[in-house]
A and B are shown apart, each in its own frame.
Chain A
């Protein structure tokens, strides 16, 4: 039945009309493919790399990916709206510096953490106002705040490192749930992931983000307040980045101005690998989760196999390129297959009429 339908539409419609095959799509979608790759990779690593298949792996691996995973959540939503936030790692560094200085200055550790979070909130508001209300391009603004926030971290803490955080708290930051090897910190992180997942996929706000990324005019037409939505996303990004900075500080028991530097590119690489389109309008939280975990496990497997970081750097780059080229190639292939099918059908019909 569907065949006769496709036979009558022209190629361009068939290309954009992939919703036609909505039924089986959930297991062939972009994010599903990411999960398959992740599962295949984990199985492969478990078989070929000695000691990979242990609870210890789970623990170390998850601890390593927590900062990336946290920041990737608001980043996913921001990129879906067609914007970007390059300042996230600098916000994490700034909050780390503030935490260190407050604690070294004698403040209570919880108060210090709250102030570090608050600084992240302010940083997010700053980005948000410039991008959402003044209407400046986010790429340029956040390149500026990337330098600004990292610079403020240097101003706050200078060349010093603060290390004498309370043992109970630093130990808690890397503690595991019983003997499972799963870090305790995974629980709050999962809450964040689920929160952003529900926000994006189950609310009108989330649907609005897709609309904004897909077409600004359309979003405006259906009455979405673009400015306000974007503002809150940057505020969320600031807050979450600051929490990642606090986690980083406590896990490595060291507050320094250069903490988490360069993390923005890792986060963006993971998000894009997870199937989010840099143009906006496309992507999902589960896909990004798989993307982050894939980079994390690849990283850890290579470390365990004592493969040089050179390979990791190169593979990350190739994966990223492959992840964006693959859709172009697969759409080229499906166009070709569609053409073939069309041709076959036409010739079948031709022979059928001939026989008749």
Chain B
């Protein structure tokens, strides 16, 4: 019923294989004469004078994520204002550990001067970033840090401890300082999430005001709407006495709010965390959520762009004490461990939420 040809295939085997390999070898040879990529970039960077033809590429955790989109919006404007000639955004469609590596490789080869990355896994991107630095690129981590050895600076949205403390404070207020709570996070390996959770746990254990609050579970919704939704559902079923949920991720808090607002738990189980005002508006208005927090994501992108420019120009190197100006946002100082803080978080509630559009 199907035409079959075994013998010509066999004869053909060796020839095809050698052709395929020759084709790739050709690719390698053709490049023999060209200079190593990025070599020109590093030469410019060491000059110390402002570069006018510098390029910057943002690699977010994943494309097509509303929060990321706001950050990148600020980043692109910042990059233009800071004086980058070209700005690119590349990234995977799904946030997995290894998916960012090929993008870093391609950028390394394209000779990009500054790579601004939010790492899906602090270690998986490391060796690729190391190669990029060898080729002359400056690395700025933002949103979620890489292993500190693999980048020049990390732009943190807020002081990690502050953002943790504000969430424990909000939940304590909302449940009346007493009862069981749970955390619904993003992926289990997200550096920023785990740091916040660690500070929250410490705060709950050490602060006498929170002695009656018990953290009973930590679950992960992988920043996927449907999965976060079902994790929220599972939490309430497994822990009938649950009084409140903290979700320090925009996808998680919105999905949990959706579940609560469609269930009998609406108004009975408190929910707070980090959310985008535009996603949370209807849940704040219908009483599912009273208060939640976030920084201005656009500023995070903007400061990252200015930091990248300062690194490329050679005005900072990423050591503690370095100072650079982030346009209208004013001066920022690099702290220990190459950390740069963007600003304090804002708390959103029924009264002020309409003033924000992101």
Contact = CB atoms under 8 A, between A and B. Distances in A.
Q: Establish whether A and B are touching in the complex (CB under 8 Å).
A: yes
A207 B122 CA distance: 48
B2 A53 contact: no
A184 to B, nearest CB: 14
A252 B97 contact: yes
Interface in B148-198: 188-189
Contact of A15 (B3, B19, B31, B147): B3
Contacts of A58: 24-25, 27-28, 31
B19 A35 contact: yes
A258 interface: yes
A51 interface: yes
A254 B15 CA distance: 38
A284 B30 contact: no
Contacts of A61: 24
Contacts of B189: 159-161, 256
Given A18-B3, A252-B98, A313 B27 contact: no
Contacts of A166: none
A40 B110 CA distance: 22
Interface in B69-95: 88, 90-93
Interface string B1-16: 0111111111111111
A60 B126 CA distance: 15
A253 interface: yes
B17 interface: yes
Interface of B: 2-17, 19-20, 23-28, 30-32, 34, 36-37, 63, 88, 90-93, 96-98, 101-103, 105-106, 108-111, 121-124, 126-127, 147, 188-189, 220
A46 B27 contact: yes
A55 B34 CA distance: 10
B102 A300 contact: yes
Given A25-B5, A159-B189, A309-B63, A258 B16 contact: no
Given A58-B28, A303-B102, A201 B123 contact: no
Nearest to B185: A159
B17 A286 contact: yes
Most buried by A among B5, B101, B147: B5
A233 to B, nearest CB: 18
23 contacts: A22-B8, A25-B8, A26-B12, A29-B5, A35-B16, A35-B19, A38-B23, A50-B110, A56-B37, A58-B25, A161-B123, A197-B13, A197-B17, A252-B127, A258-B97, A259-B98, A285-B13, A300-B102, A303-B105, A303-B106, A306-B110, A308-B90, A309-B63
B30 A207 contact: no
B12 A286 contact: yes
